[in-house]
Structure 1
Amino acid sequence: MKLSFYGAARGVTGSCSLVEGADKRILIDCGLYQGGRELSEENVAPFGFDATAIDFVLLTHAHLDHCGRLPLLAKRGFQGEIITTAASRELAKVVMLDSAHLQEEDARWQSRKLMRQNKDKGELPQPLYTQLDALNCLDYFGRTAQYKQPIVVAPGITATFLDAGHILGSASIHLTIEAGSEKRSMVFSGDIGNANRPILRDPTPPPASDVVVMETTYGDRLHKLLEPSIEELYQAIEETFRRGGNVIIPTFALERAQEILFYLRAGVKSGRLRHNVQVFLDSPMAISATEIFRRHPECFDAETRTLFDSGQDPFSLPGLHFIHESSESMALNAITSGAVILAGSGMATGGRVRHHLKHNLWRENSSVVFVGFAAQGTLARRIIDGAKAVTLFGEEILVRAKIYTINGFSAHADRDELLAWHRHSRAPRTFLVHGEEEVMQKFSTQLSLQSPDTHVEMPELGQTFNL
């Protein structure tokens, strides 16, 4: 049996691991690399394995950095089966189609730019994959996983999806493989959620296993407490309104957008926010995701399920507006004060939020509130790190707005939660992925102190291990 790493190796995106055993080849996730340009060299490059030889993909959840290269996998010859939860199947469809649309738009923009510059065009830029490729990929989604219900993937191979509490439908995957006299059990964490949060249940601890492959996104720090973070959000909004500006919140469409809506509703209901606050959800993908959330109450924690059962919508408030069309989004530029605008992407690498930043970053009375992780190289990280000016759509935009970074909303487990999760596995062998290298190093030290019997590896891209 072998385990190989083709993404998120000493980095935070592009999750993709390959398990070989019992005459089958199984991918755990096939995510897009993010940070800087979406059409990065890493995405365009060969996978490092033969797509036609992959028998199964087990998808932990529908974030782009975990599912975003599935259409490319199918485009390059994959004809196997993709297995995931019902909610992840629905969300992945929205995410992949949105990604394809953005890539097609980017390729068209690059082509027009070359034509305007009268350069020797040669072969014009092409999208990594098209919306048709994304739709074709959906044909390979097969069986639906239910939490804690083992699935016989193939003879000798069983997968059990466990609630990861990260986003709707997210899972850690317990995989057992028997081949002759050999038997191995392994757990792939996916992204582990932050416990004691509203909407979703807490992560399910993993069973004892031989091998653990786990994320380390926040492996070097503890999160702020949630209640002070919610209060900081309310203060940021009220202070900005008193200054006569707008609040721009770069928002991940899955989970974060719904969570912020949840807190804004609670703020209005409690009187902490003014009743007539105008909130614009300017993200077609987030709007679709919110509808999908409403269709899957089986994923909710007891409190949120009770709200739904009593006929209340935890994602709605009186002044909420869904912005579908680009013309509606452009019209928001005329609003100079009193608006809370949630738009993607969360790291400001693309999407409508970049337009809202262009029209508000330079305004001293406005604010930008970051409520999620920002990877190195992204526009969000440059602003958070104190850039005095940034380039948007070819223009230099001064950063004069007040910048807030509120870390308590993270959908990822922090260092202590990761350590507690790992303790349940009692694994003698641990592979760390999905984290910046410096963070991994720090978490590795902590993990070795906590569990001296586990051998910790930090695999490099393309590295293969015998199990």
Structure 2
Amino acid sequence: MMKISFHGADQGVTGSCHLIECAGKSILIDCGMYQGGRELKEENAAPFGFDPESIDYLLLTHAHLDHCGRIPLLVKRGFRGEIITTPASLELARLVMLDSAGLQEEEARYQSRKAKRHTGKSHADIEPLYTTLDALNSLDYVGRHASYDQPLEIAPGIRATFLDAGHILGSASILLELEEGGKSHRILFSGDLGNIGNRPILRPPETPPKVDTVVMETTYGDRLHKQLEPSIQELYDAVNTTVGRGGKVVIPTFALERAQEILYYLREGLEKGKIHHYINVFLDSPMAISATEIFKRHPECYDTETLQLSRDGNDPFNLPGLHFTRETAESMAINNIDGGAIIMAGSGMCTGGRVRHHLKHNIWDKKNSIVFVGYAAKGTLARRIIDGADKVRIFGEEYPVNADIYTIGGFSAHADQAELLAWHKKTGNPATTYLVHGEEESMQAFSRLLSHTKVVMPELGDSFDLQ
């Protein structure tokens, strides 16, 4: 019997992990990290809900942490199967997993020191969720590479086709064609779908095929995005206004896709005279710097305009005054600059990384601006600032929120409600649609728009037969 079960991003936005059982094989679609408040630490460390040793294949839709972040833990706990993804996703996932492992180790050291101070015992060592070695070991299980639109025979009775999802570099929706006991079934996993609205760099999501079952994300299932052009202009206005009064612009930045997109727009704004000042721009994120280098190595994923820029010898992600700051000392030196700067630093939700240091130094000053250009999950520092907090706690101290706060929604890398609905309609009235990767109110709103399909919003651990 063909089955599907759900082990992450179920009535929540992070931790994507879905399991298909067919023809004696077990196929995992993604194995992501739960992100948000610290209380999710226990969810990441909890059992997967299946035996990692039993998994034969892991198909990765894309390299965001909430889709690949628990792969090293899966290997640590016994996975010995084959990991299959696109070449661009593999490079980015390697970067993401190694970065995550470093953060896990750093947090474990901090918690160990804290425990020792409180208990006075020298043996209060706290283990990280996984280590850098675990992340490196997980790469040993990468097997075949997937190319867009090229069916791949995973095993007898199981064929996978990766379709361009237009979300981040290398991202894919995955069509599985299953056969068992004389029955066949076509199931499509959307992965995360890109925002179509004339965004640069990547192609829009590919038209999906007709299928029996759909498993689809609903991150923005309850809302429409702002138009892109006004959002770009709002970014330019924030920069011009802030720099014009001698302030700094802090942009909490996701290292994958969003950082490269903002660099693209800043370059374009300077070239077209829409940014009125010469500005020092600091990409203060080792991970975003490496991701930008990976983007440059995969022009096969570019849209027509960006590909032409690259072929003409123009770097889509370079601009005058751009500084890459990998070293901690370079990052700290940014604090000595007196205005007239844009600081792009991770993480986008302000849950870690260097951006918290920049918020500490800038959020209390009325001359400055904090510009949010991405999604902020509940429980994160970014969400509290966006929701209008008067003061926030950073590194154990409270700081007043005096800087101007901009929330620019049009840059989202996710499809909005209308785009999700249009994508779903092209799947040909599937018998069942499973809604995942969304907050409950978003899924409920989106489910009411679906017709000619049975809608299921699975809970963690739910299992269903594929008829």
Same fold (TM over 0.5): yes
Partner in structure 1 of residue 337 of structure 2: 335
Residue from 198, 205, 217 that aligns with 2:207: 205
- Structure 1 residues 239-248 or 139-148, which shifts more? 239-248
Q: Name the structure 2 match of 1:85.
A: 86
State the 1:276 CA deviation. Answer: 2.2
Which stretch shifts more, 266-275 or 317-326? Answer: 266-275
- Structure 1 CA distance, aligned partners of 2:120 and 2:192? 44
Deviation, 1:342, is: 0.4
| Matching of residues 288-327 of structure 1 within 5 Å | 288-327=290-329
Whether the aligned pair in 2 keeps the contact of 1:37 and 1:349 (CA below 8 Å) is no
Q: What is the match of residue 448 of structure 2? A: 445
The Cα of 1:125 is off from its aligned counterpart by: 1.8
Question: What is the one-letter code of the residue matched to 2:351?
Answer: T
**8 Å contact from structure 1 (residues 275, 318) kept in 2:** no
Cα separation, 1, equivalents of 2:52 and 2:321: 48
**Does 2:5 align with 1:4?**
yes
Q: Deviations over 1:267-326 (max 9, x none)?
A: 010011146211000011100000000000000000000000000001000110000011
- Alpha-carbon distance in structure 2 between the residues aligned to 1:158 and 1:38: 38
1:465 and 2:464 are equivalent in the alignment: yes
Q: 1:349 aligns with which of 351, 357, 365?
A: 351
Note the 1:393-412 alignment, pairs <5 A. Answer: 393-412=395-414
Asked whether 1:115 is paired with 2:116, we answer yes
Report the Cα distance in structure 2 between the residues aligned to 1:409 and 1:455, rounded to whole angstroms: 32
Distance 1:9 1:138 in 2: 27
2:436 corresponds to 1:433? yes
Question: What is the deviation of 1:242?
Answer: 2.0
Question: In structure 2, how many angstroms separate the alpha carbons of the residues matched to 1:439 and 1:431?
Answer: 14
Give the letter aligned to residue 237 of structure 2: Q
What is the alpha-carbon distance in structure 2 between the residues aligned to residue 18 and residue 69 of structure 1? 14
Task: Show the 5 A alignment for 1:182-221.
Answer: 182-195=183-196, 196-221=198-223
The alpha-carbon deviation at position 119 of structure 1 amounts to: 4.8
Q: Cα distance, 1:120 vs. partner?
A: 5.3
CA contact 2:116–2:124 (8 Å) conserved in 1? no
Q: Residue 443 of structure 1 aligns to which amino acid in structure 2?
A: F
How many residues are paired up? 463
Q: TM-score normalized by structure 1?
A: 0.98
> For the residues of structure 1 that align with 2:219 and 2:399, how far apart are their CA atoms?
30
| Counterpart contact for 2:368–2:404, Cα < 8 Å | yes
Q: 1:175-204 CA deviation, whole Å, 9 max, x = no partner?
A: 011012111110000000011311000100
Q: Which residue of 2 aligns with 1:99?
A: 100
1:263 is matched with 265
What does 1:267-278 align with in structure 2 at a 5 Å threshold?
267-274=269-276, 276-278=278-280
Superposed CA offset, 1:222-250 (max 9, x none) = 11110000000000011111222110000
Letter in 2 for 1:183: S
1:46-195 equivalence runs, <5 A: 46-119=47-120, 123-195=124-196
CA distance in structure 2 between the partners assigned to 1:52 and 1:171 by the alignment:
25
Match of residue 383 from structure 1: 385
Structure 2 gaps of 5+ residues are none
Higher mean alpha-carbon deviation, 225-234 vs 236-245, is at 236-245
**8 Å contact from structure 1 (residues 38, 349) kept in 2:** no
Report if the CA contact (8 A) 1:251-1:344 is conserved: yes
> Aligned to 1:40, what secondary structure does the other structure show?
helix
Task: Output the CA distance in 2 between the equivalents of 1:234 and 1:275.
Answer: 11
Q: Which amino acid aligns with 1:42?
A: E
* Structure 2 CA distance for aligned equivalents of residues 398 and 57 of structure 1: 46
Distance 2:11 2:123 in 1: 36
- Matching residue's letter, 2:306: T
**Following the alignment from structure 1 to structure 2, what is the Cα–Cα distance between the partners of residues 258 and 38?**
31
What is the deviation of 1:121? 6.8
Distance 1:219 1:105 in 2: 36
The alpha carbon displacement at 1:368 in A equals 0.4
The percent identity for this pair of structures is 68
The answer to whether the Cα contact below 8 Å between 2:115 and 2:124 also exists between their aligned partners in 1 is no
| Structure 1 range deviating more: 395-404 or 430-439 | 395-404
